[in-house]
Amino acid sequence: MAMPIRVVFPALLALLSCIRVVAQDATERGQAQFARTCGFCHGPDANGGAEGTNLMRSALVRHDENGDLIGAVIREGRPAKGMPAVPLNSSQIADVVAFLHKRLDESDRRSPRKPDYALKLLLTGDAAAGKASFFGPGGCSKCHSPTGDLARIVKKYAPPDLQARFRYPSGVAKTAIVTTSSGERFSGNLFYADSFRIAIKDAAGWYHSWPRSQVKAEVHDPLTAHRELLRKYTEAEMHNMFAYLETLK
Amino acid sequence: MKKFALTFAIAVELCAQGLDPAALLKSPTDTWPTYNGDYSGRRYSTLMQINKANVRTLTLAWAFQTRSSTLKTTPLEVNGVLYFTAPDRVWAIDARSGRAIWHYNRPSEGDHIGQRGVAMYKDRLYFGTPDAHLVCLGARDGKLIWDVVIADVKFGYYLSVAPLVVKDSVIVGTSGDQADIPHFLEAINPENGKVIWRWNSVPKPGEPGSETWPDAESMAHGGGPTWMTGTYDPSLNLIYWGTGNPHPVLAGIGRRGANLYTCSIAALNADTGKLVWYFQPSPHDTHDWDAVETPVLVDAEFHGKPRKLLAQASRNGYYFLLDRVTGENLLTVPFVATDWASGVDAKGQPIPDKKKEPQLDGSFVETDSGGATNWMSPSFDPQTKLFYVNAQRGFTLYYLDLNANQQVEGHQAAQPARFGRKVFWLLSTSRPEEFAGAGPKTRAGRILAF
């Protein structure tokens, strides 16, 4: 007799979260253990140090499964290569192995940046110059206000997202006015357009489409001003603007 | 009935429904026996049945549901059978009906991002896997003949390339950007899977090109994947193959120098794999500008003189025209707006602008991070003398990613923004006109198919 799903499911969830906590503890203990007994040669992140190799580039580490290869190297050392045996017990070794596998995952990730890492590095501009541009030649104040739509903008977007977003915002639909051959006019958000077809969704949410050759279509892009700015900005102006936007807390 | 049996017997005796590698030396007229259709890479079909007059009457004849991941493959067509792939999987289907003949499935670990297709030699097919094995299958039944390891999947190597049969060898290149690894191209014996030659896209210390790297360690992890199918000129016996980005991908601080032979077009002797010449579209790349796009071989006049040419619309936004005998650069022109280079040097190679390299606080570069073009093949039409390429414009923020110890941490960090897709056509010059679509093939019937 199978257990009812409402019992199995929470039990499973609880089990999974236990496993996760245990795994996390192991990698944290492993990190501390590694720093104490291995980091002085291999670096605290196992990326290599003055004496020891970068373990992210080790075939043995990459082929290890649950310590089957790493364990022996820790216990016996590699005397020929100058690595001494490290007297760790089996649970300490398991922790170090867990830490090394976590480091491999991190190292192989395409972009491990964290939002908090970003802000202090990204804030290289002059906020006052950014503000002057916002209300002056940048033209931002024609559409935006620091006390209106941009108030507390830093709470809404992580720094790298804000940095990208003011250059190329997204999520604002193009609009279109379509006039048919009989003179009927339709307007709404542009849904699709290519050389052969055009489609909109009107204010009531209804979808309309036409062969492009049979209608007259005017397409409006609310983000045109942002696109035009892309080639006008200098690197310094963009960093200044970002520094100013980061003051809108 | 008797007549049918006789015809059948003759066909079996002639080629056993397979593909004679010598047939690849002539431009095929009624088959598509290699990834690019023929050795020139021009993706031009001489067939006239579908043409400008009747193209608008085409309708769907059949559809075949693979129930797989996205298809990024070009089917081979030999003797009325289509052979095509997805990661881990190969299908043979009847080109006339869409009916499946066989299906091969080999689940594996490794990167499943794409699979371009198989190569055919006699009655065998060659297929690269996500765990970086090369697999040989019988073309008639899809049964495994042999399976060899090309590279170590634990270092992020995988095979997505459609191999290329050249004479009695199968040329296969490697993919993988996950870890910092050296890449290569191998010629494999089609009978037994043994390596005939290997060309490393990054040199060893002391070899030519090693002077463009700071040290042995950076070379040993220097990248240069060979993930797109190259081309071959039988009269010169040269294989042309593009190489991808150096490693680490965006962080160039640990690998000062041009980083040969990454982001390069390499001309290799087909029998030995020895480098005869190279041209580097992106010296010291820090934007992931793989130069793996098809090196298209064209015989045409240039400035009034007949020449053996090689054309590449490269991921970095530049169109290059080379003399394929010597590698001499004849033309370098951008085909989309781009600002990562400050100019072009005496050899015709763009000069990277230091200010546009990835920065800690982000550098803003005009060009989509996926490139001005990518793996979607170009096409050259000898009738119009136009080179067709799928292109895109955009802007990208590039970050240099260092950890607390000022070491390179991530391989990539970029925020891309894409503004529209355009196809541009070029007449070996800088006269682009815009056209909407993706991934062209040209035909004698004067049509461009996507």
Digitized pLDDT (tens) for each residue of chain B, 450 residues in all: 444 444 444 444 444 568 998 889 988 888 999 999 999 999 999 888 889 899 889 999 999 999 988 899 999 999 999 999 999 999 999 999 999 999 999 999 999 999 999 999 999 999 999 999 999 999 999 999 999 999 999 999 999 999 999 999 999 999 999 889 999 999 999 999 999 999 999 999 999 999 999 999 999 999 999 999 999 999 999 999 999 999 988 888 889 999 999 999 999 999 999 999 999 999 999 999 999 999 999 999 999 899 999 999 999 999 999 999 999 999 999 998 899 999 999 999 999 999 999 888 888 898 888 899 999 899 999 988 889 888 888 888 888 876 656 666 555 555 555 554 444 443 322 223 333 223 466 767 767 665
Distance CA B116, CA B85 (A): 7
Do A48 and A130 lie in one domain? The reply is: no
CA distance B124 to B138: 5
Question: Are the beta carbons of A107 and A117 closer than 8 angstroms?
Answer: no
CA distance B273 to chain A (A): 27
How many whole angstroms separate alpha carbon B12 and alpha carbon B4? 12
Position B162 scores a pLDDT of 98
| Residue range of the domain that includes A33 | 5-108
Say what the pLDDT of residue B431 is. Answer: 27
| Minimal Cβ distance to A45: which of B363, B403, B412 | B403
CATH of the domain at A215: 2.30.30
Domain final residue, candidates A87, A108, A129 = A108
Same domain? A11 vs A84: yes
Q: Do residue A42 and residue A85 come from a single domain? A: yes
pLDDT at A44 over 80: yes
pLDDT (0 to 100) of residue B404: 59
* Residues A66-91: tens digit of each pLDDT: 999 999 999 999 999 889 999 999 99
Tell whether A24 and A9 lie within a shared domain: yes
Best of B113, B177, B361 to disrupt the A interface (most A CBs within 10 Å) is B361
Residues A131 and A241 in one domain: yes
**Per-residue confidence (pLDDT) for residue B7, from 0 to 100:** 43
* Catalytic annotation, pick one of B288, B290, B381, B401: B288
Any CB–CB contact under 8 A between A231 and chain B? yes
CB pairs < 8 Å spanning A and B: 81
- Of A64, A90, A108, the residue at which a domain comes to its end is A108
A10 and A100 fall within a common domain: yes
| Amino acid making up residue A102 | K
- Residue B255 CA to residue B276 CA, distance in Å, equals 25
CA dist B357 and B360 (Å) reads: 10
**What's A50's domain CATH number?**
1.10.760.10
Give the total number of structural domains in chain A: 3
pTM of the full predicted structure?
0.88
CB contact under 8 A, A160 and B411: no
Report the amino acid identity of residue A190.
Answer: L
- From the list B156, B362, B410, which residue is nearest A112 (CB)? B410
pLDDT of residue A152: 94
pLDDT, mean over chain A: 88
Is B180 noted as a catalytic residue in this protein?
A: no
State which of A60, A88, A108 marks the end of a domain.
A108
Q: Which residues in chain B have Cβ-Cβ distances shorter than 8 Å to A53?
A: none
CB neighbour class for B83 (10 Å; exposed up to 12, middle 13-18, buried from 19) = buried
In a mutagenesis test of the A interface, which of B415, B419, B435 is the best target, namely the one with the most A β-carbons within 10 Å?
Answer: B415
The alpha carbon of residue B119 is apart from the nearest alpha carbon of chain A, in Å, by 31
Domain co-membership, A96 together with A183: no
Nearest C-alpha neighbor of B444 from the set B372, B371, B359, B384: B384
Q: Are A74 and A60 in contact, with CB atoms under 8 Å apart? A: no
Token reading at A96? 């170090």
pLDDT above 60 (res A4) = no
In whole angstroms, how large is the CA radius of gyration of chain B? 22
Same domain, A122 and A76: no
Residue pair B172/B188 in contact (Cβ under 8 Å)? The answer is yes
| pLDDT for the residue B433 | 31
The pLDDT of residue B450 = 59
- Phi and psi at residue B229, in whole multiples of 5°? -65, 135
Residue A100 near residue A73, CB atoms below 8 Å: no
Tally of CA atoms within 13 A in the half-sphere of B427 that contains its CB: 7
Residue A22: pLDDT above 80?
no
Give residue A47's pLDDT.
Answer: 86
pLDDT given for residue B420 in this prediction: 45
Angle separating helix axes A235-245 and A127-135, nearest 10 degrees: 90
The answer to whether residues A130 and A34 belong to one domain is: no
Residue B83 preceded by cis peptide, ω within 30: no
CA distance B380 to B428: 10
DSSP code at position A18: H
Distance, CA of B270 to CA of B21 (rounded, Å): 14
Q: What are phi and psi of B389, to 5 degrees?
A: -145, 140
Same domain, A239 and A180: no
- Regarding whether A101 and A126 lie in a shared domain, the answer is no
Q: Which two structure tokens, joined as six digits, stand for A46? A: 């196992």
Same domain, A21 and A83: yes
Sorting pLDDT into bands at 50, 70 and 90, what band is A120? Answer: confident
- Strand pairing class (B296-302; B144-149): unpaired
What is the band of A161 on the pLDDT scale with cuts at 50, 70, 90?
Answer: confident
What is residue B141's predicted lDDT score, i.e. its pLDDT? 97
Cα distance between residue B442 and residue B41, in whole Å: 12
